[in-house]
Structure formats: C-alpha cells, structure tokens
Structure 1
C-alpha cells in the first residue's frame, strides 16, 4: 500500500511543535492549544493501545459536541484505528444496529445518548467510556492514560487504512455504513488553501460532529493549524454572539441555519466584519438566498456539492460568480463529474442526467454490503469506476452544474419528467413564501402529480392564490395540484427535507390526487 498522503495526526503533531500555544479548540470557556491537544490525543491513543485495541479496530462515539469527542476521534486515528461517529438523534434500535454492524472495541457515550443503548449491549465485549455521570460506563477522566504513558511510538497507517465509518442519514432507506480511508480524508484537507483555510482561521462549528458535513470543515481547519470554535448545539443568537466575540473568520452551515440566522431582526446589529468565508452544503439553497448572504454578510460564500460517499464534487465560489447562483459550481480540481441517462450512456450537452463522479475522495465501500457497493458504481468507457449519486442535473454552457433534484424525487406526470427544484424556485419568488418543498403524490389520472408544502411569511395567506400564482408561471405539465400551508417541514439533523413523510402525510389526509 502507498503512503502518498499527509496524515492528519502528523499534521497536528507538527503544529504542536511549531506553535504549541496556538489555539486548536475553543468551547465554552475552555482553551486547548495545539501542544495540549497533541498530548491529549497521545493519551487517548495510549489508552486504546493499553486496552488491546489497534490497527483494524474501531472506536464508536455517541455524544454531543465536546473537546473529548474530537480527542477520542483523533486518538483512535493515532492508534491506527477508525472512528465510528454515531447520530445521537437516532432511535435506540437504530444505534444498536449500527454498533453491532460496525463492531467497535470501544464506545464513548455522552448526553444525549440514551442509557437504554448500553443495557442492550451487555452481551457484547465493547468497553464503554462515558462523558456523563448520568450514563453507565467508565468515566473518561479515569479511563484516559496519564500524561507520558504512551510508551512506544504509534504505528504509521497506510493511505488506504480505514479512517472512519459513517452511517448515512437513512432518508432513502436503512442507514448504510460508508467507509472512508486516510486517502479520502487527505483528498479533502489537501484542498485547504483553495478553500481559504489557514493557520489564522477561526472556524465556528455548529453542526454535529457525527456528520460528514461537519468533518469536512473540522479536518481542513486542523490540518491548516487553525482554530475550531465548537458549539454544542446550534442557536442563531448564540452563533452571532460567538462570531462577534471570537472574531470568527469561517463557518460551515447548512441552508436552514443560514435562514434562521438571516431571519433574526437583529442580524445587522452584529459585527461580523472578520468573516472571510462561509460554506454551505447538505441541502438546496436558492439563488435568492445566496444573494442575500453575499449582500448582508461580510466575506465570501462557497457552496459544496457532493455526497458523504464522495466521488465527484463541485464548488461554487458564489462571490466570484454572482451570475451563477442558481448552480452548484464546477468540478473540484482532480474530480471527474459526468452525467448519464437511463441507458447508462453519457447524455448530450445541456441534457439532464444522473450525476456520476470519481476522484481520490471516494468512499472505499459500504461496510458489509458488497451488493450496494456494486450497485453504486458506474463504469466509464475507459473502464474506470464512477460513483452514482442519484442526483439529476445538467451542465450549463459554461460548465457549471445545475441540480434538478434527486432521481427518486423526480415526478413523472403523464410521462413527463418534472423536477421539484424548478417548481420550488418559482414558488420561492412569491413574497409570501418563506420555504417550500414540492413532492410527488399518486394521481389516478397522471400517475403522479406535484404537491407543494409551503411555510408562509405571515399568517392568513390564501394557499390557492399562491398555487395559482405559481401555476401561471409554470409550464402546463408542471402545474401544482395542491398547495398545503404548514408551520414546518420535517427535516433530518442537517436540514434535509424528508419528502417521503410529506407525500405520505398528504395521501393520509387527502387520498390520491
């Protein structure tokens, strides 16, 4: 195996030697410099080795954001292990299946991880370490080795050694274990300079650490020697106060967070002049919303498009391309992104097709599911494997990618393909529409037909009037069957709308269209 990557653990050790006092992690009133972080990572790694764990083993983590969470994650890597960050909001049964599927030697738990999870694991040999006195397990402070107890140097991993096992959100079915290698991660943080990360960066992290979205900001920051400012839980007001107090320069946010922050009437009163870059990913952000961010929030805006599984990704430097805000940018350097049709062949220029891609930043495989791994691959004319995203898109004349929606979300009405994002873009142009999701519902006449769920700007609006306004601006086959006003849209932890729930809700309440 090749070791042609720079390993994150080695970069942290290098920062510890060159700038030990430079802050690596800030959370609440706690300040951890790179020198202290390196020692703590060594102690966590030594504890894992003392317990008999090593290369090829895994450490699972189910806890809220904390410094210990990151120390455990990095300690596992330094000991040649992989980390398994678990979604704390998942049901106990789901968490139990993920843990048994991944087979960790250790489990770090903390609030809000449910205590019932531990009771269900009594028949396992997993060593449980706890960050909370209210949860069973060995206390972190007692478990972690004393300073200087690491003994022999830790073995250097290979580039293709497993880095982490991340479970998908499960919005399209049962969660799947996505395996990333050190090569994959290096492919992300090696782009740090391109994305504006450096040792002066203060990155505000407000999304959960189990999410790949979060990790794509955490690791480049640490790789560059910057500072991570951690929020245990997102709150728009606190986010703005922390940004002002710590002179934050960077933040990774999902669209729903941007909306909540910009919706605050006091937003313009906060001093955000130190911001150099914001990043957005994980869900659709309308062109009008990107424009508002650029107009009202200092610094640039970069939109990431890609999946946890990796493959081909794109970047939109929104501040450099104000006329392309309806797109998700162009392929990242070194990423090959193509579009294929139902016949498995590349589509003609300008046509809509499924996004496939390949790069060094591609998952290794789905853990324990060779069938799903194979189903996710598309083989190009040259025999090279690409990853299928399930997203539908087209390239514009300048090579910018325009997302049309998820393949599974496409509405086929009377044999005509309707892309929900087209309808959502029109509806967001109405002054009374704050947010919207368009879904397919069964139709006895058309097979499927579009229904819109709308969050209104103010109460008392006429749903039929908004629908008619939109239909006047849509093509004949795109017209919306019904528009439902709602107070909120169901979302997962990263703000992705759970469209299947909306469709099921409509059918339950109204039957087929």
Structure 2
C-alpha cells in the first residue's frame, strides 16, 4: 500500500524502526502521518489483539481488546459492499484514538488502498488531495466542508463517502443527497468495529432506514433495543442501548438511546427524535435534555448555543407533539465527547445544579 504517495513495506515496518523509517522515507511527514505509521506498525505486529477505546457518549470511555482478524474481516465487508479496489485513493481524517479512524487504516492495509492523511479538523477537505475515491467523515465535518467552495468541490468529486458517528439533520441530508457522490450514512459502534449497516443518502428520504451488511442479523430486546449478531466482527451478540424498529425487509430505523429517554410525568420521550424534528427548522446546533421538575419529575428543555428567533422557535415547536415541546430555552454551550457526539450525561448534569 501507499501512504501519502510513499510505498509502505508492510513486512519491514515495525514499532522499533518507525521514526528512522520516517526520517529516511518521509522526512516532511507531520505528526498525524507519523501517528498513522505507528498505528500501522502496531497493527502489523504479531500480537493478535489491539486495544480500542469506546467513544464515551454514554459515560466514561472504556478500553476493549479486539482481535485484529475481526478488524480485517470488517474491512473486507466494507470493501466488498462498496466495491473498493486496490489502489483506490482513501482519506484518513479521523482521530486514531477511536475505532472509526483505526478502521480507515485497516481498510487501506487489508484492501491495498492508497491512503492520504489530513490531521483531524472541522474541514479536512480543505487540505485533502483533489482526487479521492473514498473518505469517512462525521456529520459535523460534512457540515463544515459544505460551507467552503473548494472543499465542497473536492467532496463532490470523491467517488464514495461514509458519514458516521452521529445524527444527520434533515437539512444536511438534503444537501448531501443532491451531490453526485455516493454518500452513505453508517451505523455501528466500537464493539462492532465500526459500521455494520449503511444507507445511501437521498435528498428525498431524510429518514431512510439502515440496511445491514451481509451476514449481520438483528433483533430487539423486550424494551425495543437493538441486538446485533455479526459473527465476523464480534464473537458474541452485541446488545445495544439503541431503541429501534426493524422492518419486514430487514432494514431498521434508530429511534434514540434507551439511556437518554426522558420520563416527564410518566410520558417517555426520546431526545433524538425531538431533535430530528427541530432540525428541519432550526439550523444551528441544539440539544434536547431534561431538568428536575417538582410537577413532572423531569421536564424537557431545549439547549441552544446561540439565541433563537421567536418566530423560528414557534415554527419549530409546531412540528412537535404536545408532550415533546420544551418547557424552557436555555442558551449554553453543548458539551461534546471526543468524537463530537452530544455528551448527554454532562449536559443533563449541568442542568440539574
């Protein structure tokens, strides 16, 4: 494979010689490129497992030992589904501390891709090569890329893009869906070694269901939370906290997380579903959370990082059901995890003081 147009001899690369190898072969490599090389060397070592960190979106991040063979299997599943061929030009612009970034590198190693690195940032396409075949980005990055003419042009000429790690608003879905690029929204987690399901983003279908990759079986527990049986990437079935519905054709829709449910006066409300409705009207970042209430136990509140126009609020609230409407608007920073997901635990704690 190639990294930033430099041939990587996978048999010769090891943790002991990375820095010497960089000095000889890639003297202008930046810190992120060097980190990528260190990860490659670690992954190519004889050890059968590697340690990965969960995102921490529902609490303290935890370390997991995963089998490298299963990471390779995940890479092959993605490659087969998307038709990625040796030599395809792929972009790494996600942190290597988490599974999403790691799997970009593993796909390059396993599928023989030509990998290009851009230090993770809001708009990685500003610094990316002009011709790419594949990239994996977050919704936040997708939003920022679309704001810049050059970046948007690079994105539009990339053959395939996976957007994962969070919710895609109706507005972002509509914009991405109009581009000529094949853009997919992905569903997965650390325990499944990144995505196990995808759906092609369509401007006319903002709430399209995910379709599982081959040999992935799904079920729901008694609470309606998704259980994933994907033997190629996980030794045992993975019980998630994601509330879902499964359609007759095997596709599924994620409603929200079980541990995020707000119980307001006995009515159970899912913040993610409320946010999805609001995103059709409110274009700035907002979050739905709860604060203590003597009357309801918990009451729904809307948190926004910027003031919102009264007319916009009225229009947005008109899309909500009776019990979904926030009791208050709070202007405050929205805490996020290292992977830019809303840190709902910290947010809720900040509203309880």
Quote how far apart the aligned CAs of 1:273 are: 5.2
Query: 2:170 touches 2:279 (CA, 8 Å); kept in 1?
Result: no
1:364-412 CA deviation, whole Å, 9 max, x = no partner? 5xxxxxxxxxxxxxxxxxxxx5211111111245543211111111111
Q: Distance in 1 between matches of 2:196 and 2:151?
A: 33
Q: Distance in 1 between matches of 2:152 and 2:39?
A: 37
Aligned to 1:87: none
Which structure has more RCO (C-alpha within 8 Å, separation ≥ 6)? 2
Q: Distance in 1 between matches of 2:166 and 2:156?
A: 26
Do residues 441 (structure 1) and 325 (structure 2) align?
Answer: no
Quote how far apart the aligned CAs of 1:229 are: 0.8
Number of residue pairs matched by the alignment: 341
Name which of 39, 42, 62 aligns with 1:176: 62
Aligned to 1:294: 177
Query: 1:248 touches 1:274 (CA, 8 Å); kept in 2?
Result: yes
Query: 1:42 touches 1:78 (CA, 8 Å); kept in 2?
Result: no
Q: Distance in 2 between matches of 1:324 and 1:469?
A: 22
Quote how far apart the aligned CAs of 1:216 are: 2.3
Name which of 249, 260, 265 aligns with 2:144: 260
SS at match of 1:477: coil
Do residues 231 (structure 1) and 82 (structure 2) align?
Answer: no
Q: Distance in 1 between matches of 2:339 and 2:300?
A: 25
Q: Distance in 1 between matches of 2:171 and 2:152?
A: 22
Query: 1:197 touches 1:221 (CA, 8 Å); kept in 2?
Result: no
Q: Distance in 2 between matches of 1:480 and 1:42?
A: 53
Q: Distance in 2 between matches of 1:506 and 1:310?
A: 33
Q: Distance in 2 between matches of 1:269 and 1:440?
A: 37
Query: 1:354 touches 1:407 (CA, 8 Å); kept in 2?
Result: yes
SS at match of 1:242: coil
Quote how far apart the aligned CAs of 1:267 are: 4.9
Quote how far apart the aligned CAs of 1:504 are: 2.3
Q: Could you tell me which runs of 5 or more consecutive residues in structure 2 were left unpaired when the two chains were aligned.
A: 21-29
Larger Rg: 1
Query: 1:467 touches 1:482 (CA, 8 Å); kept in 2?
Result: no
Aligned to 2:269: 418
Quote how far apart the aligned CAs of 1:469 are: 3.0
Change (3 A) 1:361 1:323: farther
Query: 1:358 touches 1:386 (CA, 8 Å); kept in 2?
Result: yes
Q: Distance in 2 between matches of 1:358 and 1:222?
A: 26
Do residues 340 (structure 1) and 318 (structure 2) align?
Answer: no
Aligned to 2:322: 476
Change (3 A) 1:216 1:323: farther
Aligned to 2:345: 500
SS at match of 1:306: strand
Query: 1:286 touches 1:326 (CA, 8 Å); kept in 2?
Result: no
Q: Distance in 1 between matches of 2:164 and 2:46?
A: 30
Q: Distance in 1 between matches of 2:125 and 2:156?
A: 15
SS at match of 1:197: coil
Aligned to 2:210: 329
Quote how far apart the aligned CAs of 1:506 are: 2.5
Aligned to 1:91: none
Do residues 204 (structure 1) and 91 (structure 2) align?
Answer: yes
Q: Distance in 1 between matches of 2:226 and 2:317?
A: 29
Q: Distance in 2 between matches of 1:73 and 1:271?
A: 27
Do residues 40 (structure 1) and 18 (structure 2) align?
Answer: no
Change (3 A) 1:41 1:340: same
Q: Distance in 1 between matches of 2:61 and 2:154?
A: 41
SS at match of 2:348: helix
TM-score, normalised via structure 1 length: 0.61
Quote how far apart the aligned CAs of 1:235 are: 4.7
Within-5 A mapping of 1:25-64 = 25-26=3-4, 31-35=5-9, 37-41=10-14, 44=17
Quote how far apart the aligned CAs of 1:336 are: 0.8
SS at match of 2:192: coil
Quote how far apart the aligned CAs of 1:471 are: 3.1
Q: Distance in 1 between matches of 2:324 and 2:155?
A: 41
Do residues 250 (structure 1) and 96 (structure 2) align?
Answer: no
Q: Distance in 2 between matches of 1:291 and 1:282?
A: 18
Q: Distance in 1 between matches of 2:152 and 2:184?
A: 24
TM-score, normalised via structure 2 length: 0.86
Do residues 307 (structure 1) and 189 (structure 2) align?
Answer: yes
SS at match of 2:143: helix
Q: Distance in 1 between matches of 2:323 and 2:72?
A: 46
Quote how far apart the aligned CAs of 1:74 are: 3.2
1:114-140 CA deviation, whole Å, 9 max, x = no partner? xxxxxxxxxxxxxxxxxxxxxxxxxxx
Q: CA RMSD in A?
A: 2.8
1:223-279 CA deviation, whole Å, 9 max, x = no partner? 22111111124252x6234242xx122211011111111133x35774555310111
Within-5 A mapping of 1:73-112 = 73-81=39-47
Change (3 A) 1:423 1:197: same
